[in-house]
Structure 1
Amino acid sequence: MVTFAYPWLLWGLLALAGPLLLHLLNRQRPRMLVFPSIRFLTRAQLPREGRRRLRDLLLLLLRMMTFAAAILVMARPTWVAKPAASTSEGRPQAVLLLDGSASMHGHGAAERAKALALTEIDALDGWDIGVVVTDSAVASSLAPGASTAAIRAAITDYAPSHLAGNPQEGLQQALTWLNAGASQGRLVIISDLQRGDWASPSAMAAPGLEVAVRDAGQDGVANVGISSVRGMPLPNGGHRVLVVVRNYSAISQERVLTVTAGNRQQRQTVTLAPLRQQRVVLLLPGSDEPGGEASQGLASLERDGYPLDDDYHFWLGDVPAPRALLVMPGETDPASEEPAFFVHNALIAEDGGVPGFTVETITADLFQEVNLAATQAIFLLGAVESLAPADIDVLRHFVESGGVVFATPGAAPNQALRALRQAGLFEAQGQGLTGSSRDVSLGIGWVNPDCPLAGLYGNPQESDLFMFSIRRMLRLSVEPSMQVLIKTLDGLPFLAEKTVGAGRFYYFSLDFSLGWSDFPLTTSFLPTLRELCLVAVPPGYGVKRLVCGDAPSVAGEWFGQDLSAAPAEGWPLPGLYRVGAWPVEVNVSNRESMTDRVNADDLRRSLSRADAGRGDAASPAIAGSMGSGDQPWWKVCAWCFALLLLGEAAARLWIGNRG
């Protein structure tokens, strides 16, 4: 049979009288000419009116067919295949689709769903019954034809999960069974009808298939939940905990919020306006507990009708530090040990409560053996000239992927700069070394106001960056494509940067040893390196936050961590987990806390193809969905419209040329 997504547009076919009127109005009428005498006129052969009338009728027919094709395209006709013959001796079939998402834990919805399902089973005596339980996918199912005892056991064992709802897969499974089964069928949906799950179903029942919706939810329920929690360390060993609490109800609510970490606990009463969220800050004192329970936090609210969002699990500490690699020229070069010592101490120190880096030191000949996937920053302490060409290629790939590399002059700075220039990492030339014996203006005189360091050293009187002495440095002549971040008093580049792919390459014009300058002894040394390193620490670095059922890949980059030990489909229950060194927070999706619901009758109409044909409940996305045997005739109409439009234009041109 043929169905129309927008059948009311067929009334437009009545407008076919339009081209007919236009045709009649545009007919050529004879013109009357006043002439004094006809004796000077010669006899002429009159044209055959029948041939012209045939041309006009052809043009009229093409115009009317073009207009009709346009109307049919907009009405979107579809040929719907009839259901296959029954495979169970003509017995009618029914499928119960049970909502097993996390929201069914609230306000007694699961118990009501069980009771409604058992009532449906009693009412469907003599039917082949199937069951589909759905949460984010199909949780469990029994095809129509299973024994009544098995169906009742499935209903008795039904329990909602902690996953966010997405009924599309379960709905498609139920319709597949019913469309391929008996000619008489019924789909029974039992759900709390949360709007987040049922706002836009993308499947439709076949014509003749009955759809029933049983409401297991409640209107006007109150719910307050915890949306997010973040714990930040304090210098005294305590923690500042920021909790976001949201009121999903239409009336004001008051709850007691409790934050617990080991033997530490804080409480606060929270009053929330209707449909608003509030940030609550609680301070946990320092703890003598060594890690373990002290770093695992739990924020809780007084229990309400939906308990799953009243708890939120979070990590307070044990976040893996970012990794830095220090590369020295070689084992026989003790001069490089001093720069490595200063850089190592600067990176491992905490800065403003932010944990330091994990630092590994190697020699240049071992560079190929290091796994750079878990590394964010590389310091080449006079070691560029000691790297092989293959090492330089690895270095470029590291920077292009988002890493940060720092380089300082070594034993052969011109050779190193040439290798970096050939690799496209840094474009500059060395013009020899200079020292204070010849240049008295070797000090810092300028910081680029457009670089991240400007916020640290905006006022020269408040920083010793502009006060230390430089005894030796490399004169650099940088290309215009480079960005100079710091200059000396006489305008020489002290620190220059080049963006390569997603990463950065920084080059200092001096070595980090006291023979070159006092820079490593200043209070500016640590924040300078740490600020530039932050470019390599992406937003996803730290605690991984997921909702129940999310695959680990949803949390973004894992920086080389092996995920084989993590469940491929995510953790089904909320809690605190670890994947290697990475802490993972798993909580219930906030979407399941919403109290907005869809209307049961609106949902039934949107899923029923016959009702959708009336055009009062079907959206274009729903109207456009088809069964496996359906044929979209509107596409054929679209091609016919295009061909008729071209044909009408060609006919008009041909008639005009024939006079």
Structure 2
Amino acid sequence: MSFLAPAFLGALTLLGIPILIHLIRRRRLHIVRWAAMEFLHHSQRKLRRRLRIEELILLALRLLIVFLAVLAFARPVIKAVGLSVLGQNAHVYAIVVVDNSFSMAQRIPNQNTAWERAVQQAKTVLTHVLRPGDAVSLLLANDHPTTLIGSPTYDLRLAYARLNAAKLSTRGTDYLETAKQVVALLKKSPLPNHEVYWITDDQANAWKSSQSESAHSIWKQLGNKARLIWISVGSPAPQRDNLAVHMEPLERELVTPHLAARISAKISNYGTRSYNNLPIVLRLDGQLAGMTKVNLAPHSASLATFTPYLPQIGIHVGRVELADPEHTDNLPLDNVAPFVLESRATLRVLVQEMQSQSATYTLAALAPVGGGNIFQPTRIEGESLDAENLSNYQAIIITGLTHLSTEEAHALADYVRTGGGLLLFPSEATQTDEVNAVLKEAGLLPAALGKIVRFPYENAQTLNPGSIGNYAPLSLFKDTSNINIGLARFTAYRQLTPFDDSSNPGAVQVILRFSDGSPALVERQVGRGQVILAASSADTSWNDLPLTASYVPLLYQLLLALSASAEVRHNLALDMPFLLPLPLSAVNAQIRITRPDGTVDTRTPVLGAEGAELQYPNTQMAGVYLVSGGPIHEAFAVALPEQESDLTYAAPNTALSQIGYPIARATFVTTPEQLSMAVNRSRYGVEVWRLFIEIAIALLFLESFLAWKFGRRG
């Protein structure tokens, strides 16, 4: 316990007054000897003891009344364990943290959004809680926190203006990242008294990164350096149901007028209500292009899939959305998922047939009788690539691979690094040692080619659709009810040992396996392009895949994936850079990028080893970006972070205690009315003078009653 007005404690000397009065008013008896009273002597001694006890009780009550009255005037406060009490004139350094992740856009029915409530609470802190002479910093909290005011400022009006200009972001929430910045600011502060005002919607996902021991130490440092006032502005837990639409990775971003796009979006139900026949809409270039319906149980998700044709050549901007995105739930921001596709007339493919007849089925699949071709294949025979301009093709296929010269391998490497796609099929005549060495030296080797493994037809290997994993171009084949790639039988394949690229972990992956677990297709990212190496042949010498219904769609999906490598990646996550290859003539062009909020950036392409390229890293905002300048008309989409759509509530006091935060140094409020009281308690402790006055008044009545009862007032 401490006192806000300790000078009044000097009045404790008044305790001597009741004692003095007691001594003065003690009865002085004049003893008169009287024989008749001697026999009453015994009873008189009993009465004297009783009177003395009564006087001492009254004296104790009067002393206690004076003591409590003096303490009340000294304004005693009780502080929490671990908190120091500030003097009335002490100044503080406050860090105001305002959550601006996109979940803060949720609106309570007939009220404002959590973001609007958070800004209002922060303004209350700046105008009614902090005083002239207090310093402040201002942070916007999300998974990539923004510092609006870093170094402490004493200009509260400046902080108010910065807060007023702040905007809601389209980012996720990560409390740990913000806590790190808060601790860094506190360490730099020369001021002794620190407060952190953390204003947020209490989203459970925001705590996920705070579960490690290293994260616990950050929160403990924060707790040791500052008082924490946690201000909750989110919706009540029962009102946090939410529907969300998020795009699945597109199987192909590049299509042709004769090849339908395959667009899938995940519709998630983060709530307790069920939905039957919930309408989902596809829009392309602003026009309705499709509709489907999904059923959603509580806390579940379902895929909505569309397969539209894009007859018009060029860039197409689309979106998948709930049928009434503005009114279906209280968080409209994630009810729409944008995407971008490109349609090309045809895709040019170079097919090099190193062994005679090894590309027969490949060419038949790429150029079917009857027209409507997706691909425009060019066939060359033999082993030389010198006469060909590789940059004219979106993909290159080499069938019946026998050997490669160093010059050819380097030509292919240059082609792939600038965005080309290369598909290799081995053969009986493959010179494995030479091919492995040449491809490795050129940086193209996905896997080392090994010996041939043979099987009798009755024990032939099959492709395992369950091994496809997360490789989006082949995800179509996971569902064997439509196309079953597992029906083809393989009587021979070459062993493949995936290359360990230590300089680029994750660049090599097995995208399909045989039924015995051996790699069937291995893919490697090289620069902007990719190489896919098959374990078996492209013809029927080792397998009957070309004779099955799955051959054409499998080949098409592989070539579309390889062709997309040569094209622009149009669908990105937050913070992924947009890269646009350009002709050398455009190296000095001024390129305009119109952001989702309407603001415009201007960029000049850079000239590098792979040619001219527009590099745009400022993708911190979800939505559609438009790129223009001269003959360039491009677009790309940046997706919202999916986990932010889950609005599940986590009680902040419980979450903080679980990560080791000193909970005694935290105060939790939900309304503006509670804020000032909570801050006063945090700063000065709980004043108990009213309690002391009430006890003193009660004791005064008790003293009066006992004085009357004892027959001794005053």
TM-score with structure 1 setting the length: 0.53
1:404-423 Cα distance to aligned partner (Å, 9 max, x none):
423679xxx89x79966997
Residue 192 (structure 1) aligned with residue 201 (structure 2): yes
Residue 198 (structure 1) shift: 3.0
How many residue pairs get aligned? The number is: 453
Distance 1:169 1:145, change over 3 A: same
Residue 116 (structure 1) shift: 0.2
The 1-side partners of 2:193 and 2:102 are apart by: 33
Within a 5 Å distance, the mapping from 1:552-571 to structure 2 comes to 564-568=613-617, 570-571=619-620
Q: Which residue of 2 aligns with 1:257?
A: 280
SS at 1:588's partner residue?
coil
Distance 1:612 1:148, change over 3 A: closer
Residue 174 (structure 1) shift: 2.0
TM-score with structure 2 setting the length: 0.50
1:233-269 Cα distance to aligned partner (Å, 9 max, x none):
9998766754432221223357543222244444456
1:172-227 Cα distance to aligned partner (Å, 9 max, x none):
22222223322111011011121111345422215252011111211122321113
Q: Which residue of 2 aligns with 1:135?
A: 142
The 2-side partners of 1:564 and 1:526 are apart by: 40
Contact 2:495 2:535 in 1 (8 A): no
1:282-307 Cα distance to aligned partner (Å, 9 max, x none):
675x67655544x6344344223111
Distance 1:305 1:389, change over 3 A: closer
Q: Which residue of 1 aligns with 2:298?
A: 274
The 2-side partners of 1:379 and 1:258 are apart by: 42
Distance 1:362 1:130, change over 3 A: farther
Residue 117 (structure 1) aligned with residue 122 (structure 2): yes
Within a 5 Å distance, the mapping from 1:460-499 to structure 2 comes to none
| 1:178 aligned to which of 186, 197, 201 | 186
Contact 1:130 1:146 in 2 (8 A): no
The 2-side partners of 1:447 and 1:357 are apart by: 38
Residue 314 (structure 1) aligned with residue 339 (structure 2): yes
Q: Which residue of 1 aligns with 2:651?
A: 599
Q: Which residue of 2 aligns with 1:225?
A: 244
Residue 574 (structure 1) aligned with residue 623 (structure 2): yes
Distance 1:501 1:139, change over 3 A: closer
Contact 1:94 1:188 in 2 (8 A): yes
The 2-side partners of 1:275 and 1:392 are apart by: 52
Q: Unpaired runs of 5+ in structure 2?
A: 1-83, 108-112, 439-447, 466-483, 498-518, 525-532, 580-608, 667-714
The 1-side partners of 2:373 and 2:464 are apart by: 17
Distance 1:510 1:169, change over 3 A: closer
The 1-side partners of 2:409 and 2:259 are apart by: 43
1:584-617 Cα distance to aligned partner (Å, 9 max, x none):
5422112111121221333555688543899xxx
Q: Unpaired runs of 5+ in structure 1?
A: 1-82, 84-88, 330-334, 429-444, 466-477, 484-496, 512-518, 554-559, 615-659
Contact 1:224 1:310 in 2 (8 A): yes
The 1-side partners of 2:369 and 2:170 are apart by: 38
1:293-348 Cα distance to aligned partner (Å, 9 max, x none):
4x63443442231111111113466389887543478xxxxx98x98898555335
Within a 5 Å distance, the mapping from 1:575-654 to structure 2 comes to 575=624, 584-603=636-655, 605=657, 610-611=662-663
Q: Which segment drifts farther, 522-531 or 118-127?
A: 522-531
1:457-489 Cα distance to aligned partner (Å, 9 max, x none):
9699xxxx9xxxxxxxxxxxx999699xxxxxx
1:34-70 Cα distance to aligned partner (Å, 9 max, x none):
xxxxxxxxxxxxxxxxxxxxxxxxxxxxxxxxxxxxx
1:540-587 Cα distance to aligned partner (Å, 9 max, x none):
96876433334569xxxxxx9989524335352312678999985422
Q: Which residue of 2 aligns with 1:244?
A: 266
Within a 5 Å distance, the mapping from 1:185-584 to structure 2 comes to 185-201=194-210, 202=215, 203-204=218-219, 205-207=222-224, 209-219=226-236, 220-221=238-239, 222-228=241-247, 242-253=264-275, 256-262=279-285, 263-267=287-291, 272-280=296-304, 289-293=312-316, 296-302=318-324, 303=326, 304-315=329-340, 318=343, 324-327=349-352, 344=363, 346-347=365-366, 356=375, 364-367=383-386, 377-379=396-398, 388=405, 390-391=407-408, 404-406=423-425, 449-452=460-463, 503-504=533-534, 524=547, 531=554, 545-551=571-577, 564-568=613-617, 570-575=619-624, 584=636
Contact 2:521 2:535 in 1 (8 A): yes
In the alignment, residue 276 of structure 1 is paired with which amino acid? S
1:468-523 Cα distance to aligned partner (Å, 9 max, x none):
xxxxxxxxxx999699xxxxxxxxxxxxx998997336567999xxxxxxx9xx98
Q: Which residue of 2 aligns with 1:162?
A: 170
Within a 5 Å distance, the mapping from 1:6-155 to structure 2 comes to 91-107=91-107, 108-122=113-127, 123-126=129-132, 127-142=134-149, 143-155=151-163
In the alignment, residue 534 of structure 2 is paired with which amino acid? R
SS at 1:131's partner residue?
strand
Residue 273 (structure 1) shift: 3.2
Q: Which residue of 1 aligns with 2:707?
A: none
In the alignment, residue 110 of structure 1 is paired with which amino acid? W
Give % identity.
14
- CA RMSD, Structure 1 to Structure 2 (Å): 5.8
